């Protein structure tokens, strides 16, 4: 199944890479790109339309658009905002990017859009909340990309450390995307068996310590080497969209609004959720040990403190 129309708001490297990946995966008939930089969006559209003749399943159209195009769209993906600078925390982006999100939300609202919104702009948990509050949409229809990328990094690191295929690994990273992400060691599985049953505790602790560091620090490493990360998040966004348009009911760690789940309320943060045609269809509750629960509480408290100042 394909979406009729996907709207991209923000044509930077993340947005452009996402649209390119979506086209290759044949996710929609039509793509509309919106950006305040007219030259950037025009050039991106001209570049992207050249791939159509060589695609095994061509799309109908890619064009530069306006917010009026949102009215009959299925999905809007927001990647707009100032990018993260080397050594800068995602939370430092909040002041500038919150103003951008409020403007975007007001324009979407005026269009009459009735579909699902996926936010990938950083800090993603806070900006997803801002978008929802500005629009007033049902929480299920506003999804943040959350820790889906962090979890992909975890799966890659685990596959390397334990010498298995990445598809043989299952893991969960919850809480804030970035430095305060919580790796749920107690639910790591290798070939459908919990890690704690496969190796002795000393070996696991030794390997997981280095894996934790690699996962948490990977974004900074990439940004220091090449100024931005965009391939991983582009594919993560496509995975969310595929689960929506095909009603796959995939369990993905994305940023969702919590209303007493995990003892938290009033914030967007990442936990496992079932994604289907209606957006967030169910929030799954992981049994956390005391250490994991404490770390998750710290992660949520940090977000709630900032939310009070918004």
Q: What CATH number corresponds to the domain at position 292?
A: 3.90.110.10
Tell me what pLDDT residue 228 has.
85
Q: Are residues 208 and 268 in the same domain?
A: yes
pLDDT single digits (tens) 121-130: 999 999 999 9
Q: Are residues 133 and 268 in the same domain?
A: no
Q: Are residues 155 and 58 in the same domain?
A: no
Q: Are residues 202 and 303 in the same domain?
A: yes
Q: Are residues 106 and 173 in the same domain?
A: no
How much is the average pLDDT of 59-82?
97
Tokens representing residue 240 in the block: 């969310």
Tell me what pLDDT residue 84 has.
67
pTM of the model: 0.95
* Cross-strand pairs, 84: none
How much is the average pLDDT of 128-157?
97
pLDDT single digits (tens) 175-184: 998 788 999 9
Pairing of strands 250-259, 193-194: unpaired
Tell me what pLDDT residue 88 has.
66
Q: Are residues 281 and 154 in the same domain?
A: yes
- Rounded to 10 deg, the angle between the 38-49 and 13-24 helix axes is 20
Tell me what pLDDT residue 90 has.
58
How much is the average pLDDT of 134-146?
97
Catalytic residues: 177
Alpha carbon of residue 87 to chain centroid: 21
* Per-residue confidence band for 86, with pLDDT thresholds at 50, 70 and 90: low
How much is the average pLDDT of 285-294?
96
Q: Are residues 246 and 272 in the same domain?
A: yes
Give the domain range for residue 251.
Answer: 148-307
Q: Are residues 21 and 84 in the same domain?
A: yes
Tell me what pLDDT residue 134 has.
97
Q: What is the mean pLDDT of the chain?
A: 94
HEC string for 94-111: HHHHHHHHHHHHHHHHHH
Tell me what pLDDT residue 89 has.
66
DSSP secondary structure, 8-69, as one string: EE--SHHHHHHHHHHHHTT-EEEEEEE-S-HHHHHHHHHHHHTTGGG-SS--SEEEE--GGG
In this predicted structure, the answer to whether residue 197 has a pLDDT above a threshold of 80 is no
Q: Are residues 139 and 152 in the same domain?
A: no
pLDDT single digits (tens) 236-248: 999 999 999 999 9
Question: What's 54's domain CATH number?
Answer: 3.40.50.720
- pLDDT cut 90: percent of the chain above it: 81
Tell me what pLDDT residue 208 has.
87
Q: Are residues 140 and 153 in the same domain?
A: no
Handedness of CA 211, 305, 252, 90 (dihedral sign): negative
3-state class (DSSP) for residue 258:
strand
Q: Are 254 and 145 in contact (CB under 8 A)?
A: yes
* Cross-strand pairs, 183: 173
Q: Are residues 129 and 191 in the same domain?
A: no
pLDDT single digits (tens) 151-172: 999 999 999 988 999 999 999 9
| Kind and range of the H or E run holding 165 | none
Q: Tell me the C-alpha distance between 108 and 112, whole Å.
A: 7
Give me the number of domains the chain comprises. Answer: 2
Q: Are residues 87 and 170 in the same domain?
A: no
Smallest CA-to-CA distance from 170 within 196, 151, 143 is with 151
């Amino acid at each position: 199944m394909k979406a009729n129309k996907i709207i991209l708001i923000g044509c930077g490297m993340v947005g452009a890479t996402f649209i390119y990946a979506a086209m290759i995966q044949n996710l929609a008939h039509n793509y509309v790109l919106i950006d305040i930089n007219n030259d950037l969006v025009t050039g991106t559209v001209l570049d992207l339309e050249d791939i159509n003749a060589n695609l095994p399943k061509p799309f109908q159209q890619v064009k530069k658009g306006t917010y009026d195009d949102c009215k009959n769209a299925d999905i809007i993906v927001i990647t707009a905002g100032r990018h993260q600078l080397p050594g800068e925390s995602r939370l430092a982006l909040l002041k500038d990017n919150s103003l951008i999100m409020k403007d975007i939300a007001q324009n979407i609202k005026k269009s009459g859009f009735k579909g699902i919104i996926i936010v990938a702009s950083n800090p993603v948990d806070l900006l997803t909340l801002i978008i929802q509050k500005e629009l007033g949409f049902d929480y299920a229809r506003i999804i943040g990309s959350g820790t889906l990328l962090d979890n992909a990094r975890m799966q890659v690191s685990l596959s390397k450390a334990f010498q298995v295929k990445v598809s043989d690994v299952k893991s969960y990273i919850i809480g804030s995307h970035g430095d305060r992400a919580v790796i749920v060691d107690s639910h790591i599985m290798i070939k459908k068996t919990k890690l704690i049953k496969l190796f002795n505790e000393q070996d696991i602790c030794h390997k997981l310590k280095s894996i934790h560091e690699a996962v948490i620090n990977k974004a900074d490493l990439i940004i220091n080497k090449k100024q931005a990360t965009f391939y991983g998040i582009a594919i993560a966004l496509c995975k969310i969209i595929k689960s929506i348009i095909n009603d796959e009911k995939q369990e993905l760690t994305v940023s969702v609004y919590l209303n007493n789940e995990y003892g938290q309320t009033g914030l967007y943060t990442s936990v496992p959720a079932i994604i289907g045609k209606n957006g967030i269809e169910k929030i799954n509750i992981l049994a956390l040990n005391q250490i994991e629960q404490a770390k998750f509480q710290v992660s949520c408290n940090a977000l709630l403190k900032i939310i009070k100042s918004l």
